[in-house]
Amino acid sequence: MELTVGAIVEGKVKSITNFGAFIALPENKTGMVHISEVANAYVSDIRQHLTEGQDVKVMVIGNENGKINLSIKRLEPKPQRDSAPRGGNSNFRSQNPQRQGAPRPANRQNVPPAAPKTADQLFEEKLKAFMTESDSKISSIKQYSDHRTKSRRR
């Protein structure tokens, strides 16, 4: 059985660490559920949600380079969000008349969510930002040294 992304399989919790749990899967394969993929709510101690030897149903969310990433929370129904804004101010719309009739974009529902960025894409973005900042600093240093050199020649 090929473990493709989106597949739902049964496994057994093999070991638990502070950052996640390793799950024994069919065909002697092992995958990991990161602590952020255990429950829809914040999890500070994974041991409050899982125990070693426990049977769990998991979804494969990644399978690259022999590392199988799993999720438990993606099989649970998403919690309903409150319609009232956060901060306890339920009269927000009535106090803010400009927002009262603000229409939402109609096409927002049809836009698919952006694909998560890969590690290479994140690295490239960081490298580009670093290079831009570095070039800016170097040019300002060159301008300063050129200015000092010209003032000495006089």
Digit-by-digit pLDDT tens for the chain (154 residues) are 678 888 899 999 999 999 999 999 988 999 999 999 999 889 899 999 999 999 999 999 998 888 999 999 999 887 777 655 555 555 555 455 555 555 555 555 565 666 777 878 888 888 888 888 888 888 878 777 766 666 555 5
**Dihedral sign, Cα of residue 139, residue 141, residue 143, residue 145:** negative
pTM, full prediction: 0.51
Q: CA–CA separation, 40 vs 11, rounded Å?
A: 20
- Look at the chain and count its residues: 154
* Helix extents (H) in the chain: 92-95, 97-100, 119-153
Instruction: Give the domain ranges of the chain.
Output: 8-75, 117-154
Q: CA–CA separation, 22 vs 33, rounded Å?
A: 6
Superfamily of domain 8-75: Nucleic acid-binding proteins (2.40.50.140)
